[in-house]
Each structure stands twice: as C-alpha cells, then as structure tokens.
Amino acid sequence: MKNLWNDINLRVFTSNLLGQSDELVLHGGGNTSVKIYVDGEEILFVKGSGWDLVSIKAEGFAPVKMKTLLEMAKLESLSDTDMVSGQKEAMIDKSAPNPSVEAILHALIPFKVVDHTHADAVVTISNSVNGEEHIQNLYPDFLIVPYVMPGFILAKTIYEMTIDFDWSKCKGIILHNHGIFTFDDDAKRSYDKMIKAVSVAEEFLHQNAKVDFRALHVTSKVDVEELKSLVETIKGHEIALHVNQSSLALNYAEQEDLSSFATRGVLTPEHIIRTKRVPLIVENDDLESSLSQFVAEYKSYFDEFKKDEIMLNPAPNYAIIKGFGVVAFGKNEKEASIINDIVEHTMLAILRADKLGGYQGISLKDCFEMEYWELEQAKLKKR
Ligand SMILES: [Zn+2]
C-alpha cells in the first residue's frame, strides 16, 4: 500500500494559518520551512521570496540541500548576495523561487518544522526600554538573541550560540527587535507552540500595557490634495493616498511633541523598506516646510551612514498629521494600504510600549543597514 501522507501539504496548511493572523505576520513577513528526504538526501523546503504566508502554495517553497546550508553556516564570512546565489545553486528544482534569506537559520534548527513570525506582542515587549528583562522573564526556556542584521550575520550568530547547545530543552528562539521562532518535528505542535508563546506576550501586555483611547474628532484643516502633489513632486511620480482616521490614528496623532514621539523607528527591521524609518510629521499648516525638513533630515541620515550606496528617494512614505490622523503614500492604492497596515500595527505597539516605560527600536545605524541592504533593494525591484 502506498503511503500518501504529504509533509509539504501539511507545511503549506500551517503556513497559511500563521499568515491569516495579522498580529503574527504582515504582507510577506515571516517565513516557514520543513525538512524532507528526497531520494535519500535531506532537503530544506523554505518559503521562497515573493510569497506571502497567507497564500503560499507548495510551489512557493524553495527546496535547498541541507548539506550546503550547514556548510555555509560554518563560513567565516559570506556576502548576502553570494549566500543567495550559492543557495540557488543548491536547489534541487531550479525553477523554484529564491529561498528566504533565513534559509541557513532554518537549516540550523534540528527539527523538521520551523515557524518564524514577527508577532506584534513579542516585538512590542522587545522594543520597550526594559524589553530584555521582560523577554528573559517571559521566555525562560527560549534561546534569546540580541538584535543583529537578518541574513548571513544572523545565521552565523545562531550557529555560534548553539555549537554546544541542548536543543531538546529549547522551546523556541526570540530575536530581539525582530521576531520569534518555534519548531517541532510535527507541524501542528510547532504551530501550537507559536500560538502559546505569543499568547504569553499578549497576556503580559493585557496586564501591563492597556491603552485607552479618547473620543477625538478631526480638527485639522490640512489640504490632503496639496500634500499629495507636494509629495509627488519629490517622488517624481503619481501616488495614491490612504487616509486613516481611526480612533487609534487620531489618538496617536494627538500625542504631545509628535516629532520626537512618532519618530522612534520600526517594529521589525523589514518594515523599514515599506515605511522608511520615520514618518513626515505635520503639526501646523505649513506643509512645504514640514516636507523640506523631512527631506533635509533624510539626507543627513543618509550622509551619516553611507559608504557607497546610492540614496533612495528622500520623500516620506507616510505622514502623521496632528488633529487629522495618518496618511500613507503608495505608488498605487495597494501599496498605500500595505503601508497603512504596517503603520497601524506600529502605532499600537508604540502606545503599548510606552506603558511599559518607553518604546525603543533598533539604532539608526541598524536601520540604515536594513534600508540599504542589497537583498532588500533587489526584492523591491522584483515587486
Ligand atoms: Zn523575520
């Protein structure tokens, strides 16, 4: 009797489940994998770039030889571009998409099924001033990793941290300022562990970081059409706006001293590609001067950290407008709505982290490295 049990279909199913919760992953965030023997060789099927967990299918997983991935982890150094091309060569199906940049990390975890999300609750706590202490207390059985750049450097860090490591006692991994991993030899158990671990963080926030909203009305007379045309001039192309005047957006935009309140960085590093590090802040009627200040500050941030990169367009990708709410600028409506979704999750996280003593994201230098990462730029071009 032929056994028709299919590991990849089960992997697809729990990936889609994870993708359905926007408190776990948003728009292409997170990644999953399963290790399967094909013709006697162990292969890592890992989320391919360009796929979303919510809608990924079997063909969205890149099949990469485990042997190659584990050899890569031992290298002293490796550029992310060389990592991707080496992994592409080690794929048993060349027509599959490029593997996720976290493929080596997935390979290093000695369990069949690996799940990675950017769970809001976990990164909210991690991005608070006492985040390290809280995470340590909430996740005593987890491997806790300080922030490093995703890609080879992160894989290398985990490789070194786990050389003499008892994985059987490890319930998961927390990547500070980034996200969480769970794993198991069983897809359902790995998913269950993710839900359970994130629920711990949610319960902690429920107890310690309750946010109350005031009933607010729009008071600003800002001319959004004027804002649109000013931003279009800097971007050099037409844009679509997404206006958000939800209770969350209005309360967020009503905070004191917005230029320091709302400019404390992103929730998880890859968001920076969509949103930039900070929004345009509008606290008065002078849109032109607010925008020129944004552009000047963006240029000085670029000049401070650039090596040989070419500067991205210095226009903002969203605005926080006092008395009005949030406006996202996308090249089309879809992109504007994606940016709005990310900003919604970020706003709530910042308000909650402030209840824990203050929000504190990754450093400007780390932001720059992410924003100007060769692989992220390539991904954006592909979209
Ligand atoms: Zn991630």
Phi and psi at residue 179, in whole multiples of 5°? 170, -160
**Distance (Å, rounded) from C-alpha 103 to C-alpha 75?**
15
Q: How far is the CA of 150 from the centre of ligand 1 (A)?
A: 7
Instruction: Write out pLDDT tens, residues 280-291.
Output: 999 988 999 999
Q: How far is the CA of 231 from the centre of ligand 1 (A)?
A: 30
Residue 245's pLDDT is: 97
Sign, CA dihedral 152-153-157-160, equals positive
* Tokens 């910042």 sit on residue: 350
Burial class (CB in 10 A: 0-12, 13-18, 19+), 231: buried
Phi and psi at residue 72, in whole multiples of 5°? -60, -40
Residue 323: pLDDT band with limits 50, 70, 90: very high
Give which of 344, 342, 339, 338 is closest to 325, Cα–Cα.
344
Instruction: Write out pLDDT tens, residues 32-75.
Output: 999 999 999 999 999 998 899 999 999 999 999 999 999 999 99
Q: How far is the CA of 130 from the centre of ligand 1 (A)?
A: 22
Q: How far is the CA of 265 from the centre of ligand 1 (A)?
A: 16
**Distance (Å, rounded) from C-alpha 136 to C-alpha 133?**
5
Residue 378's pLDDT is: 66
Q: How far is the CA of 288 from the centre of ligand 1 (A)?
A: 36
**Distance (Å, rounded) from C-alpha 41 to C-alpha 126?**
38
Q: How far is the CA of 378 from the centre of ligand 1 (A)?
A: 17
Q: How far is the CA of 30 from the centre of ligand 1 (A)?
A: 5
Q: How far is the CA of 161 from the centre of ligand 1 (A)?
A: 18
Please tell me what DSSP assigns to residue 283: -
Whether the pLDDT of residue 383 is over 60: the answer is no
Q: How far is the CA of 101 from the centre of ligand 1 (A)?
A: 9
Please name the amino acid found at residue 109. Answer: I
Q: How far is the CA of 234 from the centre of ligand 1 (A)?
A: 31
Q: How far is the CA of 39 from the centre of ligand 1 (A)?
A: 31
Q: For the packed helices 224-235 and 287-305, what is the interaxial angle rounded to 10 degrees?
A: 30
Mean pLDDT of the chain: 94
Sheet of 280-282, strands arranged across: 240-244, 325-330, 318-321, 280-282
Contact call for residues 150 and 83 (beta carbons, < 8 A): no
Q: How far is the CA of 177 from the centre of ligand 1 (A)?
A: 10
Query: What is the Cα gyration radius of the chain?
Result: 21
Give which of 58, 185, 182, 173 is closest to 112, Cα–Cα.
185
Whether the pLDDT of residue 360 is over 80: the answer is yes
Q: Got the DSSP string for 176-204?
A: TTTEEEEEESSHHHHHHHHHHHHHHHHHH
Contact call for residues 367 and 272 (beta carbons, < 8 A): yes
Q: How far is the CA of 12 from the centre of ligand 1 (A)?
A: 18
Q: How far is the CA of 118 from the centre of ligand 1 (A)?
A: 6
**Distance (Å, rounded) from C-alpha 166 to C-alpha 30?**
25
Residue 381: pLDDT band with limits 50, 70, 90: low
* Tokens 């209840």 sit on residue: 355
Give which of 29, 127, 162, 139 is closest to 346, Cα–Cα.
127
Instruction: Write out pLDDT tens, residues 144-161.
Output: 999 999 999 999 999 999
Give the rounded percent of residues in the chain with a pLDDT score beyond 70.
97
β-pair partners for 46:
33, 62
Instruction: Write out pLDDT tens, residues 218-250.
Output: 999 899 999 999 999 999 999 999 999 999 999
Q: How far is the CA of 252 from the centre of ligand 1 (A)?
A: 26
**Distance (Å, rounded) from C-alpha 280 to C-alpha 260?**
12
Please name the amino acid found at residue 3. Answer: N
Contact call for residues 132 and 357 (beta carbons, < 8 A): no
